[in-house]
Each structure stands twice: as C-alpha cells, then as structure tokens.
Structure 1
Amino acid sequence: MQPIAPTDALFLVGESREHPMHVAGLQLFQPPPDAGPEFLRGLYDALLAQTDVQPTFRKRPAFAGAITNLVWAVDKEVELDYHLRRSALPAPGRVRDLLELASRLHGSLLDRHRPLWESHLIEGLDDGRFAVYTKFHHALIDGVSAMKLMQRALSEDPADTEVRAPWCLRPRRRSAQGADTGLPLLRTARRLAGAITGIAPTTLTLARSALLEQELMLPFRAPKTMLNVRIGGARRVAAQSWPLERIRNVKAAAGVTVNDVALAMCAGALRGYLTDLDALPDTPLVAMVPVNLRTENDTDGGNLVGAVLCNLATDLDDPAERLRAITESMRRTKRVYADLPRTHQLAVSALLVGGVALGLLPGFVRTAPPPFNIVISNVPGARAPLYFGGARLDGNYPLSIPLDGLALNITLANYAGNLDFGLVGCRRSVPRLQRLLDHLETALKDLEQAVGA
C-alpha cells in the first residue's frame, strides 16, 4: 500500500455530500465527415478493450475498520464498464441539455470503494457532435495533471484513428537530473521536512512583504458577499469559449498578460452579475488564483499547486483602471513568490488558503469574513487542434470545486486559439449562473473599448 500524501488526504477528509471533491473536464467533439451512426459505439468498444490500467486509475482509499484516508489500496482488477459509461441526451439535444446533464454528474460523489474516476460518453446533440465528461477525485490528481493526461490521449493528426484510453497511458519518464528518488513515504517525508525547515524564513519574508512593503495580499480582507455562504450538494455548470485573439489584443494594447485580461474579464462579469442582483459590495472582491508548481519531472500524480490572492478591483467602474489594479496586484504577489523555493511557496500558499478549512466549523461561514470571495483558475491547454479517433475537439471546458463560503468557481483553459471557460456554482446559492456568460462577453467588450484594442 502507498501512503496518501497529507495534501491529497485533505481532499478526502474534507469531502461530504455537500462538497464533492473532484475536478472534471467537459469536452465537445465533432465526428469526422465519414462517421456513421455507430461511430460513438465504436469508440466505446475500443476504450473498453484497453485493460492495461495504470496505477493512478486503480487507486482508492484503503479501509481498515473505521480508519481510512491514510494509505491507497491498488485494485488488481478494474471494472471498466462501471467507470466508462454511455449516455444520450433527450431530444432536441441542445447544448443546454448537455450542461444540465453535466451539472447532475458534477454534483454526484465518486464511490470510495472503487478507483476514484469516471468517464461518460454523451451522444444526442442536435448538431451531430458528442461530448466526453470525465472526473477525477482531487486526491488522485490535480487539474493541471488531469488536463495534460487527457491531452496525451488525443492526437494532432486528424487522420490518426487510433483510440487511446487515458487510463492506459504510462507516466512520462523523468530525467535523472532533479528526479525525486526514493520510496513514496521517504519522498513525502522529504517534502514535509523541507517545508518545515522553511517555515521560519518564509514567515519572515511573508511578514516583511505583507506588512512593511504591502506586496502580498493576506486572507480575511475580502468583503462578505452572496457567494460566501454555506452550499448544498447540487451543482449548476455553464461553459463558453472566447477567441484568444481578442484577449491578446487587449493584452498588447494595455501591456499586461493574458492571465491579467482573463482575471479582468471575470472581475467585470462578477461586478455586472452582482449589480443585477443588487449585491455588489463597496469594497473589491478578492480571488484566489491557483499557481502550478509542478515541473516536467513531477509525474507521480497528487497535488503540487500553490496559491496567490488577487484584488479584483470590482469597486472601480472604469474597466481600464480595473485592469491596471488587477495587474499591479498580481505583479506584487509574483515578486514575493519569485524569491522563494518551491517548499516555501507551498508554505505561503497553505497560509493564504488555510482559512477555507475553517468553513468546516459550525457558524464560521455565517459570522466570519471570507478568506477570499472566489477561486479563478487558468489551466494551460493545447495550442494546436486535437483529435480523438479522428473526431475533432471543439471545446475543452475545465470544471472544478465550489466549497462552503465559496459558492462559485471559474476555471479556464486555452485551446487551439480559444479560451474555454468552465463555471461551476452551487445550484441553490448562485441563481441564474448562465447569465455570467453574458456578463463575461460584456466585460471583454468593455475592456476592448477602454484600451482601444
């Protein structure tokens, strides 16, 4: 049995019916021109035939009486026709129907007695396309690793009809230089020791940057909003793509980064959405922005994600001023992180996001200020068009995790000239979630006009 790393165990311990702890992706595919009515059935059969399941897709928490979440059990046999499923949309098969199905799938828990993943092939869209919804428990794999794994199952060649199952893909070989050798328990102990050793200097650096130089935004300075409440287990999903060219034009005109523009889009959309509901606070919203700390040599799965806090400047009416404030907030934080080794970055991230765990305490979410208002993630994707058994990938929408006190999550990924946004909200606490898509378009138009893009 393999020990569960402390960071990964937190996602298992923190899971409940109200808080499913899985990340997912919704992919839209256009079948090849010569595809017949049995095309999807052929994909399904080809995937089921691939039984060389890799260890990551065999793992589940081991149970020893009442004790669990300490070590992974690795199943020798995996019932693939349980984990891989076919679904069909009711007529007329609109994208709205697909998102409603994805909402239900995203709100259901994974079975702890089986390996912690599922994949659903979904047919019945009225335009002839099909979708694949895949979810992994966050204890098993983080969003960046999941995105990379799904991309490896695809091909850049439209003539490549080979069907590759993600669960059969072997980890990429790590270079000998910089590889973290040793048994899993020793690797975990080594990382923990490094983090503990770095706590004192990290704390001093953090205190100087936050209190004296005011470069680092600290938690619990965010305003209380309608998004920062206790949530239920039901989810609603929304998704849409925007051309990267539009975002890059704003980036070039304003002299900022693509991520800054994406954050400004989200900020403008949140400002408009909350204004419509008469719920916009006077002080600016704060976003937690995950930062990938994984290198090419990290192939063991699990989680290597840091975090920074960003002022979304939602109190500013001018889109250009809002963009400048967001850019400066991210720039200050990056300066602090640039001077820290990875173990210290993890320690600072734990300090910034640790307040989320306090939401488990009775009454905390209702009475205390939120550590931040929303999580906005930008996951790297593929630049070239990708194909699955000859079917072209049209959209690749990442879907993540709302929590108590964080009823809305926005995750985006770049793909083949687009920026694909995946929104996940508590069905009860975030009304009319799909309207945020209209506000995102309005926010981008306002930015284009404000900076002359």
Structure 2
Amino acid sequence: MTYMPPTDAMFLLAESREHPMHVGGLQLFTPPDGAGPDYVRDMVDEIRSHTEVNSRFRKRPADPVSSVGNLWWATESEVDLEYHIRHSAVPRPGRIRELFQLTSRWHGTLLDRHRPMWETHLVEGLEDGRFAVYTKVHHSLVDGVSALRMLQTTLDESPDDRAMRVPWDPRPKRSHDGGTSRGGPLALPLSVAGKGLSLGTTAAGLVPAGLKVLGQAVRDHNFITPFEAPKTVLNGPIGGARRFVAQSWEIERVRAVADATDATLNDVVLAMCSGALRTYLLELDGLPDKSLTAMVPVSLRSDSESAGGNAVGAVICSLATDLDDPIDRLRTIRESAQASKRLMKELTPLQILLLSAVNMSALALSPVPGYVSLARPPFNVIISNVPGPTKPLYWNGSRLDGVYPASIVLDGQAMNITFTSNDDALDFGIVGCRQTLPSLQRMIHHLEDALTDLEKASTA
C-alpha cells in the first residue's frame, strides 16, 4: 500500500451517490476508408490484448468500505480489461442524441472502488458511420488536463499509422507536437483548489495576498470577489442523475469576434456562455436582476513566455447577464477578466495558489446539510478551458472529429461548462443535474445564437 496525498483523498472522501467525483470525456472518430463492419469489434479485442498496465491504472482505495481505507492506495496485481473496456452500441436510429443519452447515464454512475477506478466504452451504431469513445477516470487519479494528455499519447498525426496505442501501456509513448496548446497547460479549477487547500494554513502567503485583494476590490469596481453571485436555479442542491450535451464551433468564428472587439478568445467564449445562460434562465423565468458570475481559470503567461509548467489562477469574473446588448456584455466580461489578471500579476505563485483556494473554498462546505440552501453561492457556474490538440490526429487510422469534456457538478454548482481546442474547432461539453436543470440541450442552441449575435454586433 502507498500513502494517498490529501489532494487525491479529498475527491474520494467528498464522493457520494449524488456527487460522483470522476472526470470524463467523449471522443468522436471517423473510421478510415475500407473499415469493415467488424472494425470497432476488432479494436476492442486488440485493446484488451494490451495486458501490461502501468501503476496509475492499477490503483484502487486500500479499503473501499471504510473512510480510513480511502487514505491509502492499493495496487491490483491483475486488471480485468474485459470489465474496464466496454463494447456498446447506441439504440436506433443512432443519432447523436442517443449517444448523449448513453453518455449522460454513464457519467452519472459511480466507479467501483473495489477495482481500479476507470472505464472506457467503445460505442458503435451511429447512423453516420462514426464511432465514439467515452472514458471516465476518478479525479483522485487524474485531472482533466492529465486525462486529455493521456488521450493524446494514443493518437498520431498520420492517418496511415495503425499502431493501437492505449493510455495504460507502461512503455514510453512516441511524442508529437500536436498535444500542447497556445499558452501552456491550464489546471482544472477543482485541481487548483485541491492543491491550494493543502497549503491553506500558510498565513505568511495568504495575509499579504488578502490585503492586495482588498485593495484591488476597493479601487477597481470591475474586480469580482466571492459571494457577489445572485442565487439561481444553478445553485441549489442536486441529485445523482446527469445530462450531458456537446457541440463544436469553428475557432475562426470566435477569433474573428475577438479581433473585431479587441478581446481575447476566452473573453468571447465567456460572452457566448453568458448569452446562452441568460436566454436559458429567461426561459425558466429565473434570470436575476444582478449579473451571474463564473469561476474561470485564467492564464497568467504572456505571449513571449515559453510553454510548460502552470501559470494559472482560479478567478471569478462577471458574466454581465444583466446587460441586454451582446457587445456591452463582452466589454464588461473583458474588463472583469483584466481586473483579475492585473491582481494576479502582483502576487507570488504561492499567493496565487492560496487565493485560488480561497475563491473555491466555499465548495468544501456544500456537503454540510442546509448550507447550499441558506448561503449565497461563491459564484454561479464553473467555465473551464482544457487545451487540446492543435493539429488533426488519428487513432488506428480513424480521424478524431471531436473531444468533448465531461466534468463534475456539485451541490450549489448544478452546471459545468468545459471546452477544449481541437485542431480548428472549439469543442464544448456541458454537464448538468438532470433533476435541477430541465432541457439542458437548449444550451447548445443558445450558445450558437449567442455567437451569432456577437458576430452581427461586432461587424455592425
């Protein structure tokens, strides 16, 4: 057995039936020309033949029944790949809608703690001839960035490469340059919080950071602090069932709006989310007069700095949902994000980590009975950017068409929006509480409408 770091254990200890603590993702592939009817079946067989499994994919809690057992890792000597690698098919008529229904069901079920905590589903039966891969891994083992990187080790830039690579293979992977994004990796907010909470008693770093935050809040009205968020349907207790929806947008559409408005690509994405959430809440007759706020990871790296390492802060930004004009919303979002960046540049890396943990700390209280119903939310929604591949990639000759993240929702945070770059597209994955948020698929249409409104307004 090996000791489990607190940043791993917290995700196991916080897990319940209503709060699965795994990250996941759905990938869509187009098979190569000439792929026969047994193409996916043959892939499943070959994947299961990779019986050498590295230590990360052998881990499980030492004693899954007791809380103490969730503080130590045990290592399985043999991994049952027939259990972990599932072969599935979507029901007729095989639309993307049916695929999302399956993904929603899988994403809402707990991983078995008596086994290594991961699953992969290869899914065929889509009416357009494509196949999908849904994978989920417990957050105690990996965060979203690491999960995407492991996926990319299985892919290749050549459609002619038919080597079947799997992420659990202990042998060294051949690298390619399609796996890093502009500006270096960003950690998921929950990972930032986990690292920050383990350092939360470092008052020597937190006190000066707190003074700077206070000063920034006083002199800069664009700077957003925790608990400025209004109460919405997004911020109540949740059930265990999930809905998952996803969609891709061309990066050039988003970049064109950014160039026309002197904004960043992330600013425009936040404005898309703002417009979509505004319309969604209006349909539910639940849009508050005060603006929603979002917790977002913000890159602190300049364009001249090299990639590598982490330069990220978990900050809170206004979504300007109280404004009707899309350009006014974008301008307010940009100013809010810039105010946070200005503060972060004044802090040391340790202070950034601590401040990020403070911004996220209220989530640790969400399991306390009655807390979510009585307290104001620290923010309304988490919107994350997980950098992905910047070139076309292939797996066993199949072209990767989409990479759709599926993240975590919590009491008080019933919706999570995560997007990733994929060649010339931005791929969005949205997870929501099925009980709390009806017709979550409407968010996809509202995101498209919000981008269209921004395009029209920025060229007017």
TM-score by length of 2: 0.89
Map of 2:341 onto structure 1: 334
Q: Deviations over 1:52-111 (max 9, x none)?
A: 211211112222973122222222221111111101111211111000000000000011
Map of 2:42 onto structure 1: 42
Map of 2:32 onto structure 1: 32
The reply to whether residue 411 of structure 1 matches residue 418 of structure 2 is yes
Map of 1:14 onto structure 2: 14
Distance 1:194 1:145, change over 3 A: farther
Secondary structure of 1:109's partner?
A: coil
Q: Does structure 2 retain, via aligned residues, the 8 Å contact 1:293–1:342?
A: no
> Offset at 1:47?
1.1
Distance (Å, rounded) in 1 between the aligned partners of 2:297 and 2:409: 14
Map of 2:91 onto structure 1: 90
Map of 2:231 onto structure 1: 224
Match runs of 1:109-148 below 5 Å: 109-148=110-149
Map of 1:101 onto structure 2: 102
Secondary structure of 1:146's partner?
A: helix
Map of 2:428 onto structure 1: 421
Q: Deviations over 1:134-158 (max 9, x none)?
A: 0111111111111111111111111
Distance (Å, rounded) in 1 between the aligned partners of 2:224 and 2:105: 36
> Offset at 1:215?
6.2
Secondary structure of 1:68's partner?
A: helix
Distance 1:64 1:232, change over 3 A: closer
The residue type paired with residue 250 of structure 2 is P
Distance (Å, rounded) in 2 between the aligned partners of 1:117 and 1:398: 15
Distance (Å, rounded) in 2 between the aligned partners of 1:353 and 1:111: 28
Secondary structure of 1:69's partner?
A: helix
Secondary structure of 1:259's partner?
A: helix
> Offset at 1:211?
3.9
The residue type paired with residue 56 of structure 1 is R
> Offset at 1:351?
0.4
Map of 1:376 onto structure 2: 383
Q: Deviations over 1:132-184 (max 9, x none)?
A: 000111111111111111111111111011110011156789xxxxxxxxxxx
The residue type paired with residue 117 of structure 1 is W
The residue type paired with residue 400 of structure 2 is L
- Give 5+ residue unaligned stretches, structure 2: 175-194, 302-306
Distance (Å, rounded) in 1 between the aligned partners of 2:378 and 2:101: 31
Map of 2:315 onto structure 1: 308
- Give 5+ residue unaligned stretches, structure 1: 174-187, 299-303
Q: Deviations over 1:276-300 (max 9, x none)?
A: 12111000001111357998468xx
Distance (Å, rounded) in 2 between the aligned partners of 1:267 and 1:213: 22
Map of 1:257 onto structure 2: 264
Distance (Å, rounded) in 1 between the aligned partners of 2:388 and 2:286: 34
Map of 1:270 onto structure 2: 277
Secondary structure of 1:396's partner?
A: strand
Q: Deviations over 1:300-350 (max 9, x none)?
A: xxxx97411110000001100100110111111112222333322221111
Q: Does structure 2 retain, via aligned residues, the 8 Å contact 1:144–1:292?
A: no
Q: Deviations over 1:236-267 (max 9, x none)?
A: 11111111110010011011111110010000
Distance (Å, rounded) in 1 between the aligned partners of 2:347 and 2:2: 30
Map of 1:69 onto structure 2: 70
Map of 2:441 onto structure 1: 434
Q: Does structure 2 retain, via aligned residues, the 8 Å contact 1:209–1:215?
A: no
Q: Deviations over 1:158-216 (max 9, x none)?
A: 1011110011156789xxxxxxxxxxxxxx99x84995542233233333323454564
The residue type paired with residue 218 of structure 1 is T
Q: Does structure 2 retain, via aligned residues, the 8 Å contact 1:380–1:414?
A: yes
| Partner residue of 1:247 out of 250, 254, 259 | 254
> Offset at 1:49?
1.3
Distance (Å, rounded) in 2 between the aligned partners of 1:267 and 1:344: 29
The residue type paired with residue 10 of structure 1 is M
Distance 1:209 1:320, change over 3 A: same
The reply to whether residue 363 of structure 1 matches residue 395 of structure 2 is no
Distance (Å, rounded) in 2 between the aligned partners of 1:252 and 1:145: 31
Distance (Å, rounded) in 2 between the aligned partners of 1:365 and 1:65: 27
Distance (Å, rounded) in 1 between the aligned partners of 2:170 and 2:213: 40
TM-score by length of 1: 0.90
The residue type paired with residue 91 of structure 1 is R
> Offset at 1:355?
0.7
Map of 1:163 onto structure 2: 164
Q: Does structure 2 retain, via aligned residues, the 8 Å contact 1:273–1:439?
A: yes
Secondary structure of 1:163's partner?
A: coil
Distance (Å, rounded) in 2 between the aligned partners of 1:422 and 1:169: 29
Map of 1:184 onto structure 2: none
Question: Aligned pairs, how many?
Answer: 433
The residue type paired with residue 2 of structure 1 is T
Distance (Å, rounded) in 1 between the aligned partners of 2:36 and 2:53: 29
Distance (Å, rounded) in 2 between the aligned partners of 1:27 and 1:45: 19
> Offset at 1:48?
1.0
Distance (Å, rounded) in 2 between the aligned partners of 1:422 and 1:170: 31
Q: Does structure 1 retain, via aligned residues, the 8 Å contact 2:235–2:412?
A: yes
The reply to whether residue 3 of structure 1 matches residue 10 of structure 2 is no
Distance (Å, rounded) in 2 between the aligned partners of 1:213 and 1:370: 22
Distance 1:110 1:292, change over 3 A: farther
Runs ≥4 residues deviating over 6 A:
292-295
Q: Deviations over 1:387-418 (max 9, x none)?
A: 11001111110011111011111111110111
The residue type paired with residue 207 of structure 1 is L
Distance 1:323 1:275, change over 3 A: same
| Partner residue of 1:283 out of 280, 290, 299 | 290
Map of 2:215 onto structure 1: 208
Map of 1:301 onto structure 2: none
Map of 1:176 onto structure 2: none
Indicate the RMSD between aligned Cα atoms, in angstroms: 2.3
Distance 1:171 1:401, change over 3 A: farther
